Amino acid sequence: MSAGPDVDRVVTGYLDHLTVERGLAANTIASYRRDLRRYCEYLAAAGVRGVREVAESDVAGFLAALRRGDDDHPPLSATSAARAVVAVRGLHRFALLDGLVPDDVAHEVRPPTPARRLPKAVPVESVVALIEAAGSLEGPRGLRDRALLEVLYGTGARISEAVGLAVDDLDRGQSTVRLAGKGGKERVVPVGSYALRAVEEYLVRARPALAANGRAGVRGGALFLNVRGGPLSRQSAWSILRTAAERAGLDGEISPHTLRHCFATHLLDGGADVRVVQELLGHASVTTTQVYTLVTVERLREVYATSHPRALT
């Protein structure tokens, strides 16, 4: 059987295809070129020159080499190795569709799955400091900002869900709030006493003054208002959170999802069932919620390592 065209020539044709016919960005093409050059070097070192000589074991071996590293290359992370394998898989699919090879030898070689990033959560005392910092502003804004952060931490709401709340979504008698989640799915979640108190104070002492600056009625419309009397935007809510974090000395630790992550992590730390937390967060699958259990396992491991007399050698 013919060895077919050299792999180098096929790579050149593939990159031309990506540039001209697919119109990929210059940075993407440069990234593919680097990964495929390394692939060609790996095959050449193994004595493989023609594209028809490449076997599935060669592709799998290249992936293993990426993860292992060598004298000239440091080991690649799962994310970087996956990017390189995607380039190689695209090359072999191109060769198949162009009639250069009878089979796609890379089809069964799957890119490595990147490690799941653990959600960022901060200790309870840091959350308290964050909320206190938000409420330290004088006037209606301080009352609003404190109420907003109390709601975020007390319900696990996404920022977009919190700023989308209407006054009527809060049932103070039942101590619940109705949240509109992704895909228009609604859920009713309990609201703690701290959040209820903060919202009550905001509604009585701050929201009327903010509403007077615009067209929003005091009894209807958005729960959280901006200084012009309109609904608070997601960007403004994020700015409130970031400013409070700077005041509390937590700059760099806070993201738009931080309070939601803290809500879930602190519930699980307190013994809540993961399926209950799933319902509260509005996750369609418990698998999404289970990433938070990894956080609590890490915390347990830290406590064990520092507390048990025979945990460390």
Residues with a catalytic annotation lie at 158, 182, 257, 260, 283, 292
d(CA 23, CA 12): 15
CB 155 within 8 A of CB 239: no
Give the C-alpha distances (Å, rounded to integers) separating 53 from 7, 12, 49, 107, 162: 9, 18, 7, 16, 58
Q: How far apart are CA 220 and CA 217, in angstroms?
A: 5
Closest CA to 263 of 241, 248, 278: 278
Alpha-carbon gap, residue 313 to 258, rounded angstroms: 35
The Cα 219–Cα 62 span in angstroms is: 65
Give the C-alpha distances (Å, rounded to integers) separating 11 from 3, 56, 249, 267.
Answer: 15, 17, 52, 52
CB-CB contact of 306 with 300 (8 Å): no
Q: Which residues, other chains included, contact 142 with Cβ-Cβ below 8 Å and sequence gap of 6+? A: 134, 135, 136
